[in-house]
Chain A
Amino acid sequence: MAIVLENLTKKFEDVTAVDGLSLQIEKGELFGLLGPNGAGKTTIIKILCGLLEPTNGTATVGGYDVQRDSAKMKELIGVCPQDTAAYPYLTGMENVEFFGNLYAMSKAKLKENAKKLLDKMSLSQDAGRRVRKYSGGMKRRINLIMALIHDPEIAFLDEPTVAMDPQSRHAVWDFIRDLEKQGKTIILTTHYMEEAEELCGRVGIVDHGKLIALGSPKELMNENDAKDLEDVFIKLTGRRIREGL
């Protein structure tokens, strides 16, 4: 198993962001973590990346406990945050190299990976420009490259295509599919249901910190008699709102 969550709970004073969540994600799986705003998705990702301590329960990533073995766990993961986090005064290449160096990559491997990723994301020509001058789409692409420069076993992609034009979005989709083919474990959070339906082998829908649905997009559509994943999402999360759960 790549990721195992057991009875994971996170409380912020009187708010329970994650409520006794248990989940297993297999190695090489492209898993979609879905849910409305404030459902607890980002809190789950933060716990899995070692940024937050769970109040209760355990989480292991790549076989390492995220609390006890966080240093080893962090060598396995790559995190693409929802908002672009790059140094505006560095060039695209310098940002990529900076994060490569934080993973202590060899110069040769770093150069090779950077070239490959920049080519795939059509950023080679702009790699020497400062990120401050990049368009929104370019920033999101460099954001993704920075997360994957060290060729991580497990990638957390937090809404990687938000605010992208359709062309760029499809380029990122192809890129994510490539990662899956390479046997990487990918945890993708997104608000675009068609994206999850298109890419993910399995999705988990989280609401109010609880896992309310788990399965392949097809299974969930069949179970909920829905025409697509968006319909499933609205039915499940809408019902919970209506029922006041």
Chain B
Amino acid sequence: MNFQRITALVGKDLKGMLREPAALFLIILFPVMLTLAFGVSFGAVGGTQPTTFQIGLINMDSSGSYLQYSQSFIGNLTSKEILKVQAFSDNQTAQSDLSQGKIQAVLLIPSNFGESCHSYLTAPANPNLWVNTTLQLYLDSGSMLVSQAIPPIIQQVLLTTIYGEQQTSLALPIQIGSPSLIQVSKLTMFDYMAPGIFAYAGIFLTMTVAQSFTTDRENGLLRRINTTPTTATEFMTSQAISNMITALIQVVLIFVMAYAVGYRPNVSIASFAIAFIIVLVFSLCNVGFGLITATVAKSSGAATGLAFVFIMPQMFLGTFVGIALSSIAQTAGKFVPSYYVTDALTSLFLRGAPISSPVVLIDLLVVSVTSVTVLLIGILLFKEHGKA
């Protein structure tokens, strides 16, 4: 093998990637935009959107003369379908659960809550006789929705407790204390999606490889290269290298963009390294699919459409889109290579699996064997039927 030839071929391909607007969009801009869009939509910026809020409750008003008010307040809270109330015996345990993301808020009923309610109801027009107190509320600051939704709900429950269903907007002796925002380490939807996005971007290499080969074939460039001493091995090695470099650029860009929108996988450098290796090996699989597409496609236009035969199943069954699919579709996903890339990256980034984990190693093995097989099939098919 002559490295001068391989370097020239790789350099030419990389220049093509940077200078051809369509290739630049698919390879660089598309993954960046995709990551940004999903990061903003499903990441820490927007927060997750639960249908109910888990709220921790500590009732300090358990030994006074007016216990019926706190019992009524708790009853009204519990009756709210949007709230799932969990009683805690002490604030420390509740705060611990809040910081772990197990609950979204903590509400502390003060010991003089009943007394305060009673003082108001006996002299509603005379604030001088009221016993003032505060309901302390702690909220998960990781979710904008929680901080916006829960305080008004508590306010409403308080009014219902005092006035019944016919609420007024008069002043009360009980205030809801400024919500204390608690920073919690909580996974966003984007955390679940990120591993799939790494695979998702790589899938589109199929299209760029197919377009590149068919365009070069149409323009007579493949034939022209074939009149030079360049061997098929040198040519295909250069293709593998240039597409692995492209995949590497994609992975780095996706990670930078994901980091920018709040993605912080708590994993070691070794986990990142193995994740990069898996994505790079996977790029070879897409070169193979690209070659198969270029073999079948008669023109670069046809190649664009035909590439989706490989892109769509990998995209829908093997990347983050698969999260929302039926169990049958998820089982079908096991027959597409991108599934194993997503699974390995999910194990590393989300489940915190070590690089020596059997799941990760088996995924790497499956991706490697599949990629080499698909690449070889692609090379053989293109060599026999695709160069004309």
Binding site for B on A (CB under 8 A): 49-51, 71, 74-75, 77, 79, 81, 83, 85-87, 89-90, 94, 97-99, 101-104, 130, 146
Q: Known contacts A85-B223, A87-B221; decide if A104 and B5 are in contact (CB<8 Å).
A: yes
Query: Which of B12, B15, B223, B229 is close to A103, meaning CB atoms less than 8 Å apart?
Result: B229
Given the complex of chains A and B, what is the CA–CA distance between A89 and B229 in angstroms?
23
Residues of B within 8 Å of A102, CB to CB, are: 5, 8-9, 225, 228-230
Query: Which of A51, A86, A103 is close to B226, meaning CB atoms less than 8 Å apart?
Result: A51
B222 (CB) vs chain A CBs: closest residue: A85
Residues of A within 8 Å of B224, CB to CB, are: 79, 81, 85, 146
Residues of B within 8 Å of A77, CB to CB, are: 227
Query: Which of B7, B16, B226 is close to A89, meaning CB atoms less than 8 Å apart?
Result: B16
Query: Which of A51, A74, A87, A130 is close to B229, meaning CB atoms less than 8 Å apart?
Result: A74
Residues of A within 8 Å of B226, CB to CB, are: 50-51
A–B complex contacts, Cβ < 8 Å, 13 sampled = A51-B223, A51-B226, A81-B224, A87-B12, A90-B19, A97-B8, A98-B11, A101-B4, A102-B229, A103-B228, A104-B2, A104-B5, A104-B229
Given the complex of chains A and B, what is the CA–CA distance between A74 and B2 in angstroms?
15
A90 and B227: CB pair below 8 A? no
Q: Known contacts A90-B15, A98-B8; decide if A85 and B228 are in contact (CB<8 Å).
A: no
A71 and B229: CB pair below 8 A? yes
Given the complex of chains A and B, what is the CA–CA distance between A89 and B21 in angstroms?
10
How many whole Å from A131's CB to the nearest CB in chain B? 11
Q: Known contacts A49-B227, A81-B224; decide if A89 and B5 are in contact (CB<8 Å).
A: no
Answer yes or no: B384 CB below 8 A from chain A CBs: no
Given the complex of chains A and B, what is the CA–CA distance between A79 and B4 in angstroms?
20
Given the complex of chains A and B, what is the CA–CA distance between A75 and B228 in angstroms?
7
Residues of A within 8 Å of B225, CB to CB, are: 102
Q: How many A-B residue pairs have CB under 8 A?
A: 63
Answer yes or no: B231 CB below 8 A from chain A CBs: yes
A85 (CB) vs chain B CBs: closest residue: B220
Known: A75-B229, A79-B227. 19 other contacts (CB 8 A): A51-B227, A71-B229, A74-B227, A77-B227, A83-B219, A83-B220, A85-B224, A87-B16, A89-B19, A90-B15, A94-B12, A94-B15, A97-B8, A98-B8, A101-B5, A102-B229, A104-B2, A104-B4, A104-B229
How many whole Å from A135's CB to the nearest CB in chain B? 17
Residues of B within 8 Å of A87, CB to CB, are: 12, 16, 221
Given the complex of chains A and B, what is the CA–CA distance between A90 and B12 in angstroms?
8
How many whole Å from B258's CB to the nearest CB in chain A? 30
B387 (CB) vs chain A CBs: closest residue: A51
B4 and A81: CB pair below 8 A? no
How many whole Å from A201's CB to the nearest CB in chain B? 24
How many whole Å from B19's CB to the nearest CB in chain A? 4
B229 and A50: CB pair below 8 A? no
Given the complex of chains A and B, what is the CA–CA distance between A74 and B16 in angstroms?
26
Residues of B within 8 Å of A90, CB to CB, are: 12, 15-16, 19
Interface residues of B in 225-239 (CB under 8 A from A): 225-231
Given the complex of chains A and B, what is the CA–CA distance between A102 and B223 in angstroms?
13
Answer yes or no: B165 CB below 8 A from chain A CBs: no
A73 (CB) vs chain B CBs: closest residue: B229
Question: Which of A77, A98, A102, A103: most chain B Cβ within 10 A?
Answer: A102
Answer yes or no: B20 CB below 8 A from chain A CBs: yes
Given the complex of chains A and B, what is the CA–CA distance between A44 and B219 in angstroms?
20
Given the complex of chains A and B, what is the CA–CA distance between A74 and B7 in angstroms?
20
Q: Known contacts A89-B19, A103-B228, A104-B2; decide if A98 and B221 are in contact (CB<8 Å).
A: no
Question: Which of B223, B224, B231: most chain A Cβ within 10 A?
Answer: B224
B224 (CB) vs chain A CBs: closest residue: A85
Chain B 1-37 against A: per-residue CB contact (8 Å), 1 yes, 0 no? 0101101110110011001100000000000000000
B8 (CB) vs chain A CBs: closest residue: A101
How many whole Å from A162's CB to the nearest CB in chain B? 14
Given the complex of chains A and B, what is the CA–CA distance between A63 and B12 in angstroms?
33
B225 (CB) vs chain A CBs: closest residue: A102
How many whole Å from A12's CB to the nearest CB in chain B? 11
Residues of B within 8 Å of A50, CB to CB, are: 226-227
Residues of B within 8 Å of A74, CB to CB, are: 227-229
Given the complex of chains A and B, what is the CA–CA distance between A49 and B181 in angstroms?
75
Residues of A within 8 Å of B11, CB to CB, are: 98
How many whole Å from B241's CB to the nearest CB in chain A? 15
Given the complex of chains A and B, what is the CA–CA distance between A47 and B388 in angstroms?
14
A130 (CB) vs chain B CBs: closest residue: B19
Given the complex of chains A and B, what is the CA–CA distance between A83 and B220 in angstroms?
8
A81 and B223: CB pair below 8 A? yes
How many whole Å from A89's CB to the nearest CB in chain B? 4
Interface residues of B in 212-267 (CB under 8 A from A): 219-221, 223-231
B226 (CB) vs chain A CBs: closest residue: A51
Residues of A within 8 Å of B15, CB to CB, are: 89-90, 94
Given the complex of chains A and B, what is the CA–CA distance between A104 and B2 in angstroms?
8
Given the complex of chains A and B, what is the CA–CA distance between A79 and B228 in angstroms?
9
Given the complex of chains A and B, what is the CA–CA distance between A197 and B62 in angstroms?
115
